[in-house]
Structure 1
């Protein structure tokens, strides 16, 4: 199986692991390492792999690297299968799929992994189309992204987004938001935060959609309604515990498509990358690509660490 490993040397601890990866693939003549040199390069390489008939593209990096690779694969007429070599700080899609962060185990999936259909999110905003593999968050989460710094991520690790939330909590805006579910009409929702999820976690293991199944042909949409600071603090605490879906301020709905408008504009990210605050639509693309995963089924609920 001819494989390209598309590696981002700036993802998490990637640089320290790349030499080991080179050693591990030295005796694999059909595996070639492609190292990115600038933002967007992984997307270009993934598209080239599809054009050249490469059998498998392994995204080596964090969720941002996977996001770029998916942009290149999603538009290909016959995309290669996807494999993951988690080298980032979050590795959330890998966590949902049960893929080990150990390079030896992740590379072994090239030999012993099983193919699983992977849905994608087609996201349209301001005339542009994006594809997401894991989670898109808007509103409160978008504000947290705006105040995040590299130093904060480095110091707080998986809790960095929670630390960022503390900084903006007193200034959170109650957005005037309208949602249209599937083909329905728009309805007003007092939403502080909207999470559209294909995977289960973001920000390094925070279970924003703990019951999501990335191959069920549906998107999990979690809405956090505005409440008092005390109520929101409780939501944040239960979010860390992975059971915030039980809060009165939180609702879950599964759909094929959702459209969102908000005043003021609600900022959205896709797989951690900010895209803007214009009206946005999300649509599931069932089984858009195939991904190599461990032979054991991946249960819903707590993910492996």
Structure 2
């Protein structure tokens, strides 16, 4: 395994300066190739010419998402196992697969050596095609996803994302939403926001889909209806502490396919990339890539559970 691992590094990741020495030392000790990601995609030529068994990405969720999108576009995604060494700001997908907050040596060893687990991806169509690994947030989620400051994350922890949204409440637009699921059932809401997720977390650790697992063959849909500010703040607390079922403030669904139609058009954040659309289709692509996940990851089902969940 060790002789067939390449580390794809994002030198612009927020953790690059902090982790560079450790990364170079670990790669040298294990005789792993270090390959810098570049805007001209020369890294693709390197892995084509000398293909490893596993590609480990150092960076954040956005870096991993872009690598996966590129590999998928080049019809190369099924050739490699993947690992993630968190080096970004939010590291939300890393939280779902148990890679966030590990000591350096544990993170490196897990990403490069742990057996890979088949996990899902999300296909998105809204006039063009997109592929994401973690979550699409819309409405206030699409508006505030890039506004959660580091200071607020330190002050409020996982609630920072939600509190940032609440502070925008007086200017938050409302949306008329219609969801259509694979069996043609429909649901209508007046909403502030929406999330369609495979992973559990957005915004630096907020559990927007608290029961989501990345390998169950399902999308987790979270709807945030229009409500007073006190109720909206309470809904964030409910979600953070797992009380949302009892309170009923937030609506949740699971599905393999869902179409979202809105008036006015919703602003979306698709793994951090912004879009705006009045009609979007989401579908799960089960077991689309193989990723090294920590053995105690909260957002990963056991192999047996995955098999049961995806049987027709």
* TM-score interval, normalised by the smaller of the two chains: 0.7 to 0.9
SS at 2:231's partner residue? helix
> What residue number does 1:153 align with?
149
Match of 1:4 among 3, 6, 20: 6
Cα separation, 2, equivalents of 1:205 and 1:9 = 23
Normalised by the size of structure 1, how large is the TM-score? Answer: 0.86
Q: Which runs of 5+ in 1 are unaligned?
A: none
Cα separation, 1, equivalents of 2:233 and 2:149 = 21
> What residue number does 1:227 align with?
227
- Whether the 8 Å CA contact 2:9–2:34 is kept in 1: the answer is yes
Cα separation, 1, equivalents of 2:125 and 2:48 = 23
Cα separation, 2, equivalents of 1:118 and 1:300 = 11
- Whether the 8 Å CA contact 1:257–1:282 is kept in 2: the answer is yes
The equivalences for 1:1-305 within 5 A come to 1=1, 2-29=4-31, 31-38=32-39, 45=43, 49=47, 53-75=51-73, 76-77=75-76, 78-100=78-100, 101-109=102-110, 112-125=113-126, 127-145=127-145, 148=147, 153-157=149-153, 158=157, 160-184=160-184, 187-294=187-294, 296-299=295-298
- Whether the 8 Å CA contact 1:175–1:192 is kept in 2: the answer is yes
Deviates more, 1:181-190 or 1:89-98: 181-190
- Whether the 8 Å CA contact 1:207–1:239 is kept in 2: the answer is yes
- Whether the 8 Å CA contact 2:56–2:112 is kept in 1: the answer is no
- Whether the 8 Å CA contact 1:4–1:32 is kept in 2: the answer is yes
Cα separation, 2, equivalents of 1:23 and 1:267 = 42
Cα RMSD over matched residues? 2.5
Cα separation, 2, equivalents of 1:71 and 1:24 = 27
Cα separation, 2, equivalents of 1:300 and 1:195 = 16
SS at 1:143's partner residue? helix
Q: Which runs of 5+ in 2 are unaligned?
A: 301-312
Cα displacement string for residues 45-96 of structure 1 (whole angstroms, at most 9, x for unaligned residues): 4686368533111111111111111212334253311101011121111111
Cα separation, 2, equivalents of 1:165 and 1:37 = 34
Normalised by the size of structure 2, how large is the TM-score? Answer: 0.84
- Whether the 8 Å CA contact 1:89–1:204 is kept in 2: the answer is yes
- Whether the 8 Å CA contact 2:259–2:281 is kept in 1: the answer is yes
SS at 2:30's partner residue? coil
The offset of 1:288, in angstroms, is: 0.2
The offset of 1:244, in angstroms, is: 3.4
- Whether the 8 Å CA contact 1:92–1:205 is kept in 2: the answer is yes
The offset of 1:261, in angstroms, is: 1.2
Change over 3 Å in CA distance of 1:36–1:112 after alignment to 2: closer
Cα separation, 2, equivalents of 1:204 and 1:242 = 17
Cα separation, 1, equivalents of 2:170 and 2:111 = 48
Change over 3 Å in CA distance of 1:246–1:133 after alignment to 2: farther
Change over 3 Å in CA distance of 1:111–1:197 after alignment to 2: closer
- Whether the 8 Å CA contact 1:175–1:190 is kept in 2: the answer is yes
- Whether the 8 Å CA contact 1:132–1:271 is kept in 2: the answer is yes
- Whether the 8 Å CA contact 2:84–2:111 is kept in 1: the answer is no
